[in-house]
Amino acid sequence: MANPLPLQARAAVLESFSQPLRSHSFPLPTAPEPGAALVKTEMAGICGTDVHLWRGELPIRLPIILGHETVGTLVSLGEGLKSDWSGQPLAVGDRITWTSTTSCGRCYYCAVKHQPTRCPQRRAYGIGYPCNVPPHFLGGYAEYHYLQPGANLFKLPETLATESVIGAGCALITAIHGVERTGIEWQDTVVVQGTGPVGIAAIAVAKSSGAGRVIAIGGPDHRLVMARTFGADEVISIERTPEPTDRILAVKQLTGGWGADAVLECVGHPSAVVEGMEMCRDGGKYLVLGHYCDAGPISFNPHIITRKQLQVFGSWSSEPRHLQAAIAFLERHSTRFPFASMVTHRFSLAEANEALQTTASLQSAKSVIVPDSGLLKPSL
Amino acid sequence: MANPLPLQARAAVLESFSQPLRSHSFPLPTAPEPGAALVKTEMAGICGTDVHLWRGELPIRLPIILGHETVGTLVSLGEGLKSDWSGQPLAVGDRITWTSTTSCGRCYYCAVKHQPTRCPQRRAYGIGYPCNVPPHFLGGYAEYHYLQPGANLFKLPETLATESVIGAGCALITAIHGVERTGIEWQDTVVVQGTGPVGIAAIAVAKSSGAGRVIAIGGPDHRLVMARTFGADEVISIERTPEPTDRILAVKQLTGGWGADAVLECVGHPSAVVEGMEMCRDGGKYLVLGHYCDAGPISFNPHIITRKQLQVFGSWSSEPRHLQAAIAFLERHSTRFPFASMVTHRFSLAEANEALQTTASLQSAKSVIVPDSGLLKPSL
Amino acid sequence: MANPLPLQARAAVLESFSQPLRSHSFPLPTAPEPGAALVKTEMAGICGTDVHLWRGELPIRLPIILGHETVGTLVSLGEGLKSDWSGQPLAVGDRITWTSTTSCGRCYYCAVKHQPTRCPQRRAYGIGYPCNVPPHFLGGYAEYHYLQPGANLFKLPETLATESVIGAGCALITAIHGVERTGIEWQDTVVVQGTGPVGIAAIAVAKSSGAGRVIAIGGPDHRLVMARTFGADEVISIERTPEPTDRILAVKQLTGGWGADAVLECVGHPSAVVEGMEMCRDGGKYLVLGHYCDAGPISFNPHIITRKQLQVFGSWSSEPRHLQAAIAFLERHSTRFPFASMVTHRFSLAEANEALQTTASLQSAKSVIVPDSGLLKPSL
Amino acid sequence: MANPLPLQARAAVLESFSQPLRSHSFPLPTAPEPGAALVKTEMAGICGTDVHLWRGELPIRLPIILGHETVGTLVSLGEGLKSDWSGQPLAVGDRITWTSTTSCGRCYYCAVKHQPTRCPQRRAYGIGYPCNVPPHFLGGYAEYHYLQPGANLFKLPETLATESVIGAGCALITAIHGVERTGIEWQDTVVVQGTGPVGIAAIAVAKSSGAGRVIAIGGPDHRLVMARTFGADEVISIERTPEPTDRILAVKQLTGGWGADAVLECVGHPSAVVEGMEMCRDGGKYLVLGHYCDAGPISFNPHIITRKQLQVFGSWSSEPRHLQAAIAFLERHSTRFPFASMVTHRFSLAEANEALQTTASLQSAKSVIVPDSGLLKPSL
């Protein structure tokens, strides 16, 4: 890096819920502490969760810099930081991404029960850190991003486009973890409820995990087209088949009357769970993946779990190894599963509010912020 | 068998729901068809399900002979029936028990998906066969029992008391199947919700499967004493701790604040499911075992499954191999797990109504019918 | 079938080991017994095992009709045979295939331990039945094939070419079972030792089961080309890398020095096992799939299993559900995994010896016999 | 600790292979570095591995203080060390034990593949650290033991005797890990080959994991008595049944002719592996647990793995969670599985050579060193 670092850098800051983000300058950390790193942000994804955060639907402290799906270039490395999570050597100039959270590695959930996603110490970049104290830059909507000691960094292979990583976003690693917990068997028939980012990713992961046939349920139509692109063999439109009983019937008809081997819920409405269990064959599997937020209760009869002897799985967030696998998958299958094409809308850092609104209005497949205007290409 | 078979034999028949059983004589099958067998009933258990059936709470056709937990002596064997399910040779005079249902072995659930308990062909002795047509004797509350071709017979070892088999009843095999599907890990902390027959059996199976500590929740106190006898290390009384939130707190306090590794629901009330999932640690397992009957819906928030990344299992009935394992277990552990002591009330066939009422009123641990009055011992 | 059945039909019969097969006529069964069926053979595959059988390397009784990979058309159905193994209705004229063996469904291995491939009752068409007694036609190298009661029949979908089924042959179902027992995890690196029919099938199954990268080891070069066609990302030639230590080194270099997550042995030489375990990463999986025949002992140090804490799996033959999954897979993926292209050499029934020699000399990918010369197309 | 720490303390040092240990004084670390701890040794177990180390059969650097099974009392804690591995608070005066090794937690085996026992960074106290450099005290045969930062400490419950922990030693945690990898199913029949410390522990773990019947193979007779004490239902004496084929026959006769569901090798001779696989039923499991040392190759035919479709597992050392489970198990089951009774011979630190010789000559169940002569009780 021939250019000296600026003393200050800009970020789009959420100061009040449901109010426009405001541009602020903060002092850049002069030198990363041991094990830490400073990164120049290349691209930051806007996740649907960011919209929930912006609206104040989740308990967070303000002010913050949003953004937990980020790719950047290493600007400086703290003492002792020599390799990424996979063991590859790291150097200034490397393009990297990272997990948004870091588990402690020593607690009951990390060490004893191997459930590191439930580590009580986890806080997420772009969600859990106020930005009014140093090192300030702990979210993606900014010119720079600080990575604390212990962060899980991943050097990106040259052949992997930044758009692939951000287009996949946290939806892909969420889906990888969920499908892993569920366990797809070879040639299984799998239903995916929902064709949002997690649903699309779940289709790709299920299909590449050995599913023989994937039935996607969602909408609107352009999302069903995308579902087919990412591997759905059949699609059921919630617009043209608005009644849950009709959708259940449709799945039964596609499965010889039995139901699917596995049903993956990627919707987030509790009614989807009631509907989806009816779509399982007896002895089948059901994944509750979309309920990251608390969407409230529903009338539910647990008799179905006994009678159909179901297996029901939950999955929360993801582990670093899922991001590692995601990177390998994206690099290997950029044609078969074109996650780069998900990046449909690009914005400068100054346009962060527009980026957020485009996601909120479901106009985009994926909106991104490209802080360095020299890297900004026109929206597709 | 020196004595010739009688031409007729007696049974206690359910003709009208909620009305007293009536004693009837039916002609005994002169000779079993190929693969079938005729058995002289030694002891028939009264299951809680029988009370539901008697009240008309499950869809069955009348008239029927109740009784699906039975031990008897082989009186005659149809052509080709030479060995029991385990391959042991069979002869007239052998004491046997059998699975109450038989799966077809060739259907989608039997052959393709290995879920034989969900075979659509299954009908249960004592539940699914009207008794007004030959061979009439297809339930346990009778002097004789006919076993159709394909029935799964098990010769009982001499050292295994009939009381052990009937005292364990269908509760034990139900629990074995459920715990198998759940998968207890060595030294796990396990909560069992419910101290009825299935709960008591689940305690024994969990404990003998490697559970390090079992916490039983139930009542009244004599059932908690029994829970301790069968392996519970801690008990929580639903009488003294009537509030679900307090019981959840009690479990948390017994588990370092985390919750249990596995929680086994053996209650049958939907509210137990909502309560029980709160008792699981994150990443823990939950078994919905008690919902054999449809007890209606409950307000349920599926967010808990995602957030705690639970694994939830259902289990329906049991397979022949579970009965085989149960027999071996009962024989090996008659002291450590004294299922024979569960048989607290004995009745003659003529007293079948009293037997049923004793079970309905929860006075007995296990009521049984001993049709041959020569075998009848005084109630304990 | 407008044409009446002939009274006699021809078969190629193995009378003496290592001697030419001789053409014989046998009386056709006038009517199948209940549950049985008569099929007009459309195509019979020549398996490498047939060459071993012909040479007398396995203990079988002569005379026999070889051929355990067969597709044919239903000519007549015995009483009660109304549907195939999957439950689809069957009618005269349907094109079908079947499992070469049938398990009893009731023995210790079938019922208790769920290892039906180890059922002591199994005998294979084309291997286990002498042809000098009725119904004679119990192998594929013949104009007709008799299917005994209990045989596992599968109606073929119209869109699935007979060449796909025979090109895949018993290699595919063997590989499906083996990979299932091993358990490939998503994005695993998998080594396949051997590029014969089982190796090629294992590549396809591993790749479609979620393997991120498949490294095939074999030869000669045209087999390595085929390995790539069926999904191998990397190939190692045993001709150009003849030393096991060099091949182990090559695998290590392709896997960051660690070794592969899973190694699938499809060779049949004991030395491959010793070599292959060295190719596993610590904690990795090893499948011994190629040792269907006893190829003798090898010097082996079990210390490697403890030190690398390996998981080693064996797999024998396959179950009906594997053939069902294979049919679905072949129909879905005829382009991605072109098993039909494996059928490189076609012969009439009169040319059965040439067919066998072509397989013995490894000239063909797959040789087949087409008994009805009207269906015979020129070799490719 | 009222008494000030001495400036120097004594240890029994291995300077030359196969030569007597020599008593040396080293300076005690004045203050533990951050995260480290100093412990006063209460009891150190003599493991069979120590004999191998003493003889120079494993590649280690001298001089060293042997001893990797140790209980002691916390004398001082480095900055930041506030709780044990389980999260319990630690204070001077607490009685603790610890894992002999520490994995790095971040490497390919620790983080990506969840095989921390194969972490390349692991070095074991009592095996991997020369004692001629500070902090010197990194083995059990000494008055004090230094625990480096990152060591996995476990506070012992008051009701758990030190003798239980040392009597179980590393054999128990080795067995726990091995049985976990193998997976015992409820009521399985399990064969344990070997009745040394690992074999005895494997019997206890298998039995408490749900094994229905355990058959132990070993000797001499006093070890078979011990095998029965720890849960073996049947024993086969290698003295009275010296021929492997006879032992295989004996196992077959005890298992209805089929063989055992699982066979656990705890012998360390390669011939045991060949013998043991023959003792498995088809589809059974085999654990190679005893081959911690390289005992050389054996003539082995891999055909058995395919034909019997075995599952073979290796297991190396253990993880901290296994020690945690072991402590809970020992506390809960001190009567049923009396590991404390294994401590048959006690020696002062000055008698370290006698202690080692007693183990080498197989005279003791477990020899221990009690450095503080005030704690030394007479040998049993």
Chain segment C51-103, per-residue pLDDT in tens = 999 999 888 999 999 999 999 999 999 999 999 999 999 999 999 999 999 99
Residue B270 parent element (H or E): helix B270-279
Q: Do B86 and C320 touch (CB under 8 A)?
A: no
Q: Do C332 and A179 touch (CB under 8 A)?
A: no
Instruction: State how beta strands A189-193 and A213-218 pair.
Output: parallel
Nearest chain B Cα to A303, which residue?
Answer: B291
Confidence of residue C3 (pLDDT cuts 50, 70, 90): low
Q: Do B324 and C86 touch (CB under 8 A)?
A: no
Nearest chain B Cα to D87, which residue?
Answer: B256
CB B46 within 8 A of CB B126: no
Mean pLDDT throughout C10-26? 97
pLDDT in tens, C155-172: 999 999 999 999 999 999
Q: State how far the Cα of C98 lies from the Cα of C155, in Å rounded to an integer.
A: 9
Residue D339: name the closest of D328, D330, D349, D326 by CA: D330
- In this predicted structure, what is the pLDDT of residue D363? 83
Mean pLDDT throughout A54-76? 96
pLDDT value at C1 more than 90? no
Q: Do C86 and B114 touch (CB under 8 A)?
A: no
Token couple for D55: 């003889």
Token couple for B188: 């796990």
- In this predicted structure, what is the pLDDT of residue B9? 97
Q: State how far the Cα of A282 lies from the Cα of A262, in Å rounded to an integer.
A: 10
Half-sphere exposure of A316 (CA within 13 A, CB side): 25
pLDDT value at D379 more than 50? no
Confidence of residue D377 (pLDDT cuts 50, 70, 90): low
Nearest chain D Cα to B88, which residue?
Answer: D256
- Interface chains of chain C (3 or more CB pairs under 8 Å): A, B, D
pLDDT value at C380 more than 70? no
D362 contacts: CB under 8 Å, gap ≥ 6: none
> What is the distance between the terminal CA atoms of chain B, rounded to a whole angstrom?
31
Q: State how far the Cα of A302 lies from the Cα of A281, in Å rounded to an integer.
A: 16
Chain C residues within 8 A of A205 when measuring between CB atoms: 186
Give the angle subtended at the CA of D209 by the CAs of D206 and D215, to the nearest 5°: 30
- Which percentage of chain C shows pLDDT scores above 90? 91
Nearest chain B Cα to C322, which residue?
Answer: B112
Q: State how far the Cα of D161 lies from the Cα of D331, in Å rounded to an integer.
A: 8
Residue D69: name the closest of D201, D162, D196 by CA: D162
Residue D144: name the closest of D252, D267, D1, D288 by CA: D1
Q: State how far the Cα of B155 lies from the Cα of B96, in Å rounded to an integer.
A: 4
Q: Does A108 touch chain D (CB under 8 A)?
A: yes
CA distance B115 to chain C (A): 12
- C91 vs B380, more confident: C91
- In this predicted structure, what is the pLDDT of residue C201? 98
- Interface chains of chain D (3 or more CB pairs under 8 Å): A, B, C
Token couple for A253: 């008809």
Q: Does A271 touch chain B (CB under 8 A)?
A: no
Of the ranges A249-253, A343-347, B27-31, D163-167, which one carries the lowest mean pLDDT score? B27-31
Q: Does B329 touch chain D (CB under 8 A)?
A: yes
Q: Does D256 touch chain C (CB under 8 A)?
A: yes
> Taking the alpha carbons of D289, D294, D296, D299 in that order, is the dihedral positive or negative?
positive
Question: Could you say which DSSP state residue B124 is in?
Answer: B
- In this predicted structure, what is the pLDDT of residue C293? 87
pLDDT value at C379 more than 50? no
pLDDT in tens, C265-303: 999 999 999 999 999 999 999 999 999 889 999 999 999
> Tell me, which fold does domain B170-314 have in CATH?
Rossmann fold (3.40.50)
Give the CA dihedral D229, D231, D234, D237, nearest 10 degrees. -50
pLDDT in tens, B90-121: 999 999 999 999 999 888 999 899 999 999 99
**Diameter of chain C by CA atoms?**
67
pLDDT value at D372 more than 90? no
pLDDT in tens, C76-85: 999 999 999 9
A328 contacts: CB under 8 Å, gap ≥ 6: C187, C212
Q: State how far the Cα of A354 lies from the Cα of A342, in Å rounded to an integer.
A: 18
Q: State how far the Cα of A209 lies from the Cα of B71, in Å rounded to an integer.
A: 48
Q: Does C334 touch chain A (CB under 8 A)?
A: no
Q: State how far the Cα of D278 lies from the Cα of D260, in Å rounded to an integer.
A: 9
Residue B93 parent element (H or E): none
- In this predicted structure, what is the pLDDT of residue D1? 44
pLDDT value at A2 more than 70? no
pLDDT value at A159 more than 60? yes
Mean pLDDT throughout B324-340? 96
Phi, psi of A165 (to 5 degrees): -65, -45
Instruction: Write down the residue that tokens 């995990």 correspond to.
Output: A209
pLDDT value at A378 more than 70? no
Residue D269 parent element (H or E): none
pLDDT value at D114 more than 70? yes
Please name the member of D185, D186, D332 whose beta carbon is closest to the beta carbon of B212. D332
Q: State how far the Cα of B217 lies from the Cα of B202, in Å rounded to an integer.
A: 12
Q: Do B187 and D87 touch (CB under 8 A)?
A: no
Q: State how far the Cα of C65 lies from the Cα of C24, in Å rounded to an integer.
A: 10
CB A357 within 8 A of CB A349: no
Burial C33-66 (b: 16+ CB within 10 A, else e): eeebbbbbbbbbbbbbbbbebbeeeeebeebbbb
Q: Does B314 touch chain A (CB under 8 A)?
A: yes
- In this predicted structure, what is the pLDDT of residue B301? 97
Instruction: State how beta strands D213-218 and D189-193 pair.
Output: parallel
**Residue A6 burial (CB count, 10 A):** 12
pLDDT value at A92 more than 90? yes
Give the CA dihedral B165, B167, B168, B171, nearest 10 degrees. 130
pLDDT in tens, D18-59: 999 999 999 999 799 999 999 999 999 999 999 999 999 888
Q: What is the ipTM of this complex?
A: 0.95
CA distance B305 to chain A (A): 5
Q: State how far the Cα of C291 lies from the Cα of D322, in Å rounded to an integer.
A: 36
Task: Kindly report the average pLDDT of chain B as a whole number.
Answer: 95
- In this predicted structure, what is the pLDDT of residue D378? 52
C82 contacts: CB under 8 Å, gap ≥ 6: C89, C90
Confidence of residue B377 (pLDDT cuts 50, 70, 90): low
pLDDT value at C224 more than 90? yes
Please name the member of D185, D213, D325 whose beta carbon is closest to the beta carbon of B186. D325
A108 contacts: CB under 8 Å, gap ≥ 6: B256, B258, D86, D87
Burial A161-192 (b: 16+ CB within 10 A, else e): bbbbbbbbbbbbbbbbbbbbbbebbbbbbbbb
Q: Do D87 and B256 touch (CB under 8 A)?
A: yes
Coil, helix or strand at residue A343? strand
CA distance A83 to chain B (A): 31
Mean pLDDT throughout A356-364? 90
Confidence of residue A71 (pLDDT cuts 50, 70, 90): very high
Q: Do A86 and D105 touch (CB under 8 A)?
A: no
Q: What is the 3-state secondary structure (H, E, C) of chain C?
A: CCCCCCCEEEEEEECCCCCCCEEEEEECCCCCCCCCEEEEEEEEECCHHHHHHHCCCCCCCCCEECCCCEEEEEEEECCCCCECCCCCECCCCCEEEECCECCCCCCHHHHHCCCHHHCCCCCECCCCCECCCCCCCCCCCECEEEECCCCCEEECCCCCCHHHHHHHHHHHHHHHHHHHHHCCCCCCEEEEECCCHHHHHHHHHHHHCCCCEEEEEECCHHHHHHHHHCCCCEEEECCCCCCHHHHHHHHHHHCCCCCEEEEEECCCCHHHHHHHHHHEEEEEEEEECCCCCCCCCEEECCHHHHHCCCEEEECCCCCHHHHHHHHHHHHHCCCCCCHHHHEEEEECHHHHHHHHHHHHCCCCCEEEECCCHHHCCCCC
- In this predicted structure, what is the pLDDT of residue D380? 39
Chain C residues within 8 A of B86 when measuring between CB atoms: 108, 112
Residue B66 parent element (H or E): none
CB A32 within 8 A of CB A74: no
pLDDT value at D344 more than 50? yes
Instruction: Write down the residue that tokens 């062909």 correspond to.
Output: B121
D171-314 maps to which CATH number? 3.40.50.720
Instruction: State how beta strands C95-98 and C153-155 pair.
Output: antiparallel
Chain B residues within 8 A of D209 when measuring between CB atoms: 186, 209-210
Question: Could you say which DSSP state residue D108 is in?
Answer: I
pLDDT value at B138 more than 60? yes
- In this predicted structure, what is the pLDDT of residue B1? 44
- Residue D214 pairs in a beta bridge with D190
pLDDT in tens, B182-193: 999 999 999 999
Q: State how far the Cα of C310 lies from the Cα of C280, in Å rounded to an integer.
A: 8
**Residue D31 burial (CB count, 10 A):** 12
> Taking the alpha carbons of A264, A268, A273, A278 in that order, is the dihedral positive or negative?
negative
Please name the member of D258, D273, D310 whose beta carbon is closest to the beta carbon of C314. D310
CA distance B208 to chain D (A): 5
Between helix D197-208 and helix D162-182 the angle, nearest 10°, is: 70
Sorted by where each begins, the domain ranges of chain D are: 8-161+334-375, 171-314
- In this predicted structure, what is the pLDDT of residue B365? 85
Please name the member of B187, B209, B212 whose beta carbon is closest to the beta carbon of D186. B209
Mean pLDDT throughout A155-184? 97
Nearest chain B Cα to C109, which residue?
Answer: B86
pLDDT in tens, D201-232: 999 999 999 999 999 999 999 999 999 999 99
Task: Kindly report the average pLDDT of chain D as a whole number.
Answer: 95
Instruction: Write down the residue that tokens 């919902």 correspond to.
Output: B291
pLDDT in tens, D135-145: 999 999 999 99
CA distance B321 to chain C (A): 6
pLDDT value at A1 more than 60? no
Q: Do D291 and C305 touch (CB under 8 A)?
A: yes
CB B130 within 8 A of CB B153: no
- Residue D328 pairs in a beta bridge with none
Q: Does C188 touch chain A (CB under 8 A)?
A: no
Q: Does C261 touch chain A (CB under 8 A)?
A: no
Q: State how far the Cα of A176 lies from the Cα of A196, in Å rounded to an integer.
A: 15
pLDDT value at A317 more than 80? yes
Q: Do A210 and C208 touch (CB under 8 A)?
A: yes
- In this predicted structure, what is the pLDDT of residue B3? 63
Q: Does B115 touch chain A (CB under 8 A)?
A: yes
Size of interface A-C (CB pairs under 8 A): 42
Q: State how far the Cα of C8 lies from the Cα of B366, in Å rounded to an integer.
A: 67
Q: Does A306 touch chain B (CB under 8 A)?
A: yes
CA distance B112 to chain C (A): 6
Token couple for D337: 């599985």
CA distance C107 to chain D (A): 12
Residue among B181, B306, B312, B317 with most chain A CBs within 10 A, to mutate: B306
Task: Kindly report the average pLDDT of chain A as a whole number.
Answer: 95
Coil, helix or strand at residue B262? strand
pLDDT value at D371 more than 60? yes
Report the CATH architecture of C8-161+334-375. Answer: Alpha-Beta Complex (3.90)
CB A308 within 8 A of CB A280: yes
